[in-house]
Amino acid sequence: MILIPAIDLKDGMCVRLRQGDFSRVTVYGEDPAAMATHWCRQGATRIHVVDLDGSRAGEPRNRRAVQDIVRTVPIPVEVGGGIRTLDTIADYLELGVRWVILGTAAMKNASLLEEACRRWPGRIILGLDAADGRVAVEAWTESTAETAIDLARRYESLALAAIVYTDIRRDGMEVGVNVAATKLLAESLRLPVIASGGVAGIGDIERLLEIENAGVMGVIIGKALYTGAISLPEALRLQGGSAPAASHGG
């Protein structure tokens, strides 16, 4: 199972929000590329980046920071937030981003997701953000009547790389991953699932490892890494995937 440190971007800085609330923000660093380098040296083999400003604006707002991260670390980067057009997807992929995450676009513009998967098979990740099992969009400001499972099944036949499933009630709260909902989603699909939201400690990693065979390929870890509640090297040793420190050079 891949352990993926999260870097959330706001105003060019590395931050964390509580439950996606822009009024509850904590700044953890003014140099996102340096933060990515730190996690890489800690053993990370993949970085998860979200343009928070972009998610509200509907278009990229922290492209320069994303570019700096991609050019600085030698490990693959996945990016989401404010990606609503094929041109934006193409731009990020040409920039060196390995995977682009589509969330709101999947709900509001199915043809965009379908065309993106056709043009770039295996390079698109579907981001499902849910509260009480129902999908939320537009930086989590709008809830829908559709369940995460129903939406995922609708796009299951596309050439998606994976699905990121975030429980937004738990995101940034360090209250524990919604293991039951993550397992149910993974078991309902043929696509691999990446868990996100609420990781509080090493026990969450242990519980997710127990359901890895259900189709859970990874977990995104945010606040728990920044507060020190989880040590990335320790978590990597737990799941047997400790990676050596990587050289850096873009």
Active site residues: 8, 129
DSSP 56-95: HHTS-S-HHHHHHHHHH-SS-EEEESS--SHHHHHHHHHH
State the angle between helix axes of 110-119 and 86-95 in degrees (0 to 180), rounded to the nearest 10: 40
Cβ–Cβ under 8 Å, residues 166 and 193: no
Tokens read off for 104: 């709101």
Amino acid in position 6: A
The owner of tokens 């990874």 is 218
DSSP 184-196: HHHHT-SS-EEEE
Cβ–Cβ under 8 Å, residues 159 and 187: no
15/35 Cα distance (integer angstroms)? 11
